[in-house]
Structure 1
Amino acid sequence: MRELKPWLDLICKRPGRLVMGGFLILATLLSGIALLAISGWFITETALVGLLLAAGVAATINLYVPGGAIRLFAVSRTVFRYLERVYNHDTVLRLLTDIRVALFRGLSLASRSHRSELTGAQWLSRLTSDVDSLDTLYLRLIAPTALAALVSVLVVMLAAVLFDLQTAMLVGLVLLVAFLIATIGVYLRTRHLSAGQSDRQEALRTAVVEHIEGFAELTAAGRTGKHAAGLMRQAHQVTSEQAKADARIGWHLAGAHLLINLSAVFALWAGFALYQAGTLSGPVLVLLPIALLGLAEAYTMLPDAFGKLGATVASATRLNRDCRASQPAVHSGAVDLPADTALLAENITVKHAGYAPLFKHFELEVQAGERLGILGHSGSGKSSLADTFAGVLPAHGTFACQERVYLTQKTVLFEDTLRANLLLGSPAASDTDLWSILEQVELAERFASEPDQLDTWLGSAGSRLSGGEARRVALARVLLNPAPLVVLDEPFTGLDAETRARIAKRMDGLLDGKTVISLAHGPDALPGTDRVIYLSR
């Protein structure tokens, strides 16, 4: 359970919202129980008065106070239920934001070797099902469990006040057993099933994706049917295990409800003894059993929540492992930068995990404000070297550099607006700053003609733009960033020679005072440089 602690700590950073959400759930439960209890008391009182009047005995009843209470609790239950749903679902969305930001912040620091360990389907599982199992942890598990326990204590206290201490203790004991069956009992019976279920679903999802991607090859090999049959067997195993877990959850739910009903029967039996002794009236006699029956609403949510707790713990374990693996790599032999030096690499080895080194004993010193160009043909290791300078690929050796911003060889744009993509480079940038940088990369006129201008939707991975336009948006985002060291890997991909020359000339002024390391396949693909290094393999 310690795997949940980092995420519980994150959830508890919003204590005000959690307390208010818990209060709304509690108010809803108490209103429902009070409605049932007072209704039972009122019906019994009315029946007794009716019998007395039929027997010719003078009797009176106050219709207004209990009637008003019934209306009050009926309305309050509806209002609190509505407010609870709206407020707590808003809280869950806020918690989801916190969890995703924390997760993405950790994953953004992952090395390329770590990212390559997981397939796309596995990453999809991390960012969807694993996160979803955590974002409702409060609403599905924490709040219902705490409030069910609190309401049970209140009902036991009610039993002590209305009946006697012995009845209250026996009712409390039965409710305690029901609570343990609905919570810890379910968890112990289902934790291994639910923990393995997410792994099985992830494996099935991966297999389905591979089946779709390789459908042409499977058809050519005549193995489509066999492969599909294998998928069906995997799916059958997943559904069978889920059915087994659901059956255990159902039995525990039934057991908890049975005990709650038995506690109501016991309270009714004990109440009859007190009624016969003259210490309890008939209407009060039925109040406690009906209040106990109202506890079923509080206990109904618990078995399903604890039945999925094993899967939640497994999801937290995976996410914790990914985040721990995503911590920034500590460069061996890291040193403080000398004065007026932007980057220092001494005797470093550049390599990807599981492969031979690309560079050994590599040494480089770049002065602050220097413009360095690095040229090399495809496969010479330019992008790996750029990844090392940017901190994406661990450098084995002595390495240190200033804060940097990195334009990767692959253009990366998010499915969002132009404004949102540019603000990633400088969140504080004004609209004037954005239009100015667009002018520098010759995109201002292009987007000024769009109806939404800066709020133009770029599509998935910038699909609404040409390759050259997408590259210039990515370049503009980097140029907005105030980092003193700029690493540009093939900055002018997709641009014709004339456009490249004009933008390169403007970049000289934009990058004034910054250190620039540019990597390209030829000198015509570099911005202005002070010196050039040639790579050869």
Structure 2
Amino acid sequence: MKNKSLNEVNSLRYWSIILLWRHRNRVMIGALLVFLTAAFAMALLALSGWFITATALAGISVAAGAMLALDIYLPGSGIRFFALGRTVSRYMERLYNHDSVLRQLSLIRQQLFKGLSTFRTSELKKQTNADWLSRLTADLDSMDSLLLRLLLPPFAAVLGLLLLSLLVSFWSYTAALFLFTSTLFLSCMIFILFLRLQENDSKALVTLFNSAREEFINHMNGLPELRCAKMQEHHQQSLLIFTNKFNKLQCRLVRLQANAQLAINTLHSIMVLVAAICSIKGAQEGLFDAPVAVLLVLAVFAFGELLQLLPGQLGVLGRTRYAAERLYPLANPAEETKDTSLLPQKLWNKLDIHLSGHPYIPASLKQMLTLEFSAAKPYLLVTGRSGSGKSTLAELILGEAHEQSEHLGTIACFKLDGQNVSSEQYSLSLQEGTAYLSQRNSILADTLFINVTLGLPDISDEKVWQVLRLVELDEWAKSLPADLDSWLGDTGQELSGGQARRICLARLLLRAPHLVVLDEPFNGLDESMAERIWRNIAPWLADKYVMLLVHKSPDFVSSDLLPQQHWQHLQFSSEDE
């Protein structure tokens, strides 16, 4: 529990430094605008009260026959100034601070994607798609509360209290000091108690909400199967359980917030009452006249606008802390120790992999699989039907298998130039020099150019057209409304399976890897097109290590550039399965 609390503090501290402290000048300007808005509002109400009271007393005095002069132009001008200033400062504050929040959310995304880029595929697979969706949407959106709700309102309230105390100090230093210290102490006690009481429920609510989101997404994904099995209503019961728990927690938090609001309203009411009594007593003793007494009471009353907003604003602390805790390891992953003595180019002289006993590669259970990449045998063909472990073998070699952390140390042995290396050293050395075409066609909701280049800098249109010709997509691309800048739709919905497959293959052709792993590269392609594309990319493959995984070996795999004697063949037969 202690370590968990420490992790929460570290998470909030990390994000506070990234978002607030490093941009403290911008934060201070935003806080100043918030304070000016509050100060103008307090001054407007207080001066209006003074002006109305003074005007009423002047009218009564004149009606009674007394000679009295009242300057109405200066306070009238002040009222107009404060009213205009409040409107302008509120507009500027909303504009500036919301722009700051958008900048911060952009900064969080950059920090997250920078951190995620260092994660291995096996680590990413440990979380479901629904959990990633929750982290990168709901949790990320919760972070905007850090500035708008957790920093600026309390800061404005403290400055407002200080301004009010300075106003009272013109007539009584003792009263000003008592007002400041008592209000600050009692307010802090109320909010500390409120935050402690709602902390566990707030975290439980967010956790339950994320679980319900994941359950709902899984329900929608499996809806056709549930309908066919007539299990839809039964499966919906779990969603109803989440709903009931969610409602109970929500009601409990609402009650806590209502109690905190009641305590703050009571405190403010006492402040106004004490201010009224003290103002009447001060007017009777001749410290100030009646209009000033009204001014002081209304100034205290106006301060309530800042104070009464705090329960609702600070109530999001639990949600924000939980979001910060979940996003922290993504943006700040633990650094891995790299063996600098292993030069990346040394890997490509000779690579030996000995594998046995992997639970998802049946062939390895009977005998040790020995894979060797060298100048004499640079190409490896792996055949076998679905489920025989071909994709698992590829992911294991690339250090991306989800089971790697459990099994790799005992079932796989990696050698570089005959020297044993650890799985981590091997994986780190291999990452930068590998191009992997998985079975899944991953298409971004973006343009054709972005989908082909996929983060590579300084890629010319000419180079993109060149690789599109190799995969026979150039004529299709020219027929698009905006050529390379044409939008491919959400997740490639405008594409056929064959087109998506060839775009994924074109991505690899823009890179210069040492090892190329092609997992069913001809999915969605007819045999003649597959043969043409293979011959087109053969010159690119010729000087690399190649691992080709297919169900059945195509006749066209061997060619002049990729002769048969340079191929190894590893076959997963039906008996292995």
TM-score after normalising by structure 2: 0.81
Is residue 414–residue 460 contact of structure 1 (8 Å, CA) maintained in 2? Answer: yes
Q: Against the structure 1 CA distance between its residues 439 and 181, is the aligned structure 2 distance closer, same or farther, given a 3 Å change threshold? A: farther
Q: What do the CA deviations read for 1:424-450 (whole angstroms, capped 9, x no partner)?
A: 241322334333332333222212222
Letter in 2 for 1:312: T
Corresponding letter in the other structure for 2:76: G
1:124 matched residue in structure 2 = 133
Corresponding residue of 1:406: 436
Map 1:461-476 → 2, pairs under 5 A? 461-476=491-506
Q: Deviations over 1:34-57 (max 9, x none)?
A: 211221222222222222222222
SS at match of 2:440: coil
Taking the TM superposition and a 5 Å limit, the aligned residue runs for 1:364-443 are 366=373, 372-378=379-385, 379-393=387-401, 394=404, 396=409, 397=413, 398=421, 399=426, 400-401=429-430, 402-443=432-473
Of 280, 303, 312, which residue of structure 1 is paired with 2:311? 303
Compared CA separation, residues 425 and 259, structure 1 to 2 (3 A)? closer
Secondary structure of 1:427's aligned partner: coil
Counterpart residue number, 2:570: 535
Counterpart contact for 2:352–2:373, Cα < 8 Å: no
Is contact 1:518–1:526 with CA below 8 Å preserved after alignment? no
CA offset digits 1:135-170 (Å, max 9, x no partner): 33211212222222222222222221x321111122
The residue that corresponds to 1:153 in the other structure is 162
In 1: Cα distance, 2:196 partner to 2:39 partner: 30
Contact 1:486 1:517 in 2 (8 A): yes
Residue 290 (structure 1) aligned with residue 298 (structure 2): yes
Residue identity over aligned pairs, in percent, reads 34
Residues 131 and 339 of structure 1: CA distance in aligned 2, closer, same or farther (over 3 Å): closer
Q: Which amino acid aligns with 1:455?
A: D
- 8 Å CA contact retained: 1:404, 1:486: yes
Per the alignment, residue 5 of structure 2 pairs with: none
CA drift of 1:355 comes to: 6.3
Q: In the superposition, relative to structure 1, how do residues 44 and 163 fare at CA in structure 2: closer, same or farther (>3 Å)?
A: same
Identify the match of residue 97 of structure 2 among 84, 88, 95: 88
CA pair 465-225 structure 1, distance change in 2 beyond 3 A: closer
Q: How big is the shift at 1:520?
A: 2.3
Q: Aligned with 1:501: secondary structure?
A: helix
Q: What is aligned with 1:342?
A: 348
Structure 1 window deviating more from structure 2 (187-196 vs 140-149): it is: 140-149
Count of residues paired in the alignment: 532
The match for 1:519 among 548, 559, 575 is: 548
Partner of 1:201: 209
Output aligned runs, 1:54-203, within 5 Å: 54-160=63-169, 162-181=170-189, 183-203=191-211
Partner Cα separation in structure 2 for residue 382 and residue 268 of structure 1: 83
1:362 deviates by 6.2
Structure 1 distance, partners of 2:101, 2:344, is 48
Match of 1:17 in 2: 26
The letter of the residue matching 1:144 is: P
SS of the residue 1:488 aligns to: strand
Distance 1:526 1:109 in 2: 35
Q: Quick one: distance in 1 between partners of 2:280 and 2:212?
A: 58
Structure 2 unaligned runs (5+)?
1-8, 414-420, 573-577
Maintained 8 Å contact 2:41/2:83 = yes
Residues 338 and 418 from structure 1, CA distance in 2 versus in 1: closer, same or farther, beyond 3 angstroms?
closer
Deviation at 1:192, TM superposition (A): 0.7
Q: Which residue of 1 aligns with 2:527?
A: 497
Q: Shift of the alpha carbon at 1:451?
A: 1.7
**1: distance between equivalents of 2:327 and 2:301?**
40
Q: 1:435 to 1:113 in 2, by over 3 A?
A: closer
Whether the aligned pair in 2 keeps the contact of 1:425 and 1:480 (CA below 8 Å) is: no
SS in 2 for 1:376: strand
Which deviates more, 211-220 or 414-423?
211-220
Is the counterpart of residue 451 in structure 1 residue 486 in structure 2? Answer: no
Q: Give CA deviations for 1:378-429 in whole Å, capped at 9, x if unaligned.
A: 3443323333444423564522335334322211011222233233241322
Coordinate RMSD, CA, aligned: 3.4
Asked if the contact 1:195/1:314 (under 8 Å) is kept, the reply is yes
Check the 8 A contact 1:405/1:485 in 2, yes or no: yes
In 1, are the aligned partners of 2:362 and 2:388 still within 8 Å (CA)?
A: no
Report the more deviating stretch, 298-307 or 380-389. Answer: 380-389
Does the 8 A contact of 1:163 with 1:271 survive in 2? no
State whether residues 383 and 570 of structure 2, in contact with CA within 8 Å, keep that contact through their aligned partners in structure 1. Answer: yes
State which drifts further: 398-407 or 186-195.
Answer: 398-407
Shift of 1:237: 1.9
**Aligned amino acid, residue 568 of structure 2:** I
In the alignment, the residues of structure 1 paired with residue 11 and residue 516 of structure 2 have an alpha-carbon distance, to the nearest angstrom, of: 38
Contact 2:361 2:390 in 1 (8 A): no
Check if 1:36 corresponds to 2:42. Answer: no
**1:40 and 1:286 in contact (8 A); partners too:** yes
Indicate conservation of the 8 Å contact 2:279/2:293, yes or no.
Answer: yes
Deviation at 1:236, TM superposition (A): 1.7
Instruction: Return the offset for 1:465.
Output: 0.6
Tell me how far apart the structure 1 counterparts of residues 463 and 135 of structure 2 sit (CA, whole Å).
Answer: 37
2:362 and 2:11 map into 1 onto residues whose CA distance is 36
Q: CA deviation at 1:464?
A: 0.7
Q: 1:365 to 1:349 in 2, by over 3 A?
A: closer
The separation in 2 between residues aligned to 1:228 and 1:175, in whole angstroms, is: 50
Name which of 232, 243, 257 aligns with 2:251: 243
Q: Does the aligned pair in 2 maintain the 1:167–1:267 contact within 8 Å?
A: no
**Distance change >3 Å, CA 423–CA 155, structure 1 → 2:** farther
1:59 deviates by 1.7
Moved more, 312-321 or 242-251: 312-321
Return the alpha-carbon distance in structure 2 between the equivalents of residues 252 and 460 of structure 1: 46
Contact 2:361/2:392, CA 8 A, preserved across alignment: no
Cα distance, 1:372 vs structure 2: 3.0
AA of the residue aligned to 2:525: L
Letter of the 2:139 counterpart: D
User: CA offset at residue 278 of structure 1?
Assistant: 1.9
Q: Unaligned regions of 5+ residues in structure 1, if any?
A: none
Structure-2 separation of matches of 1:306 and 1:358: 59
| Distance verdict in 2 for CA 1:449–1:215, change over 3 Å | closer
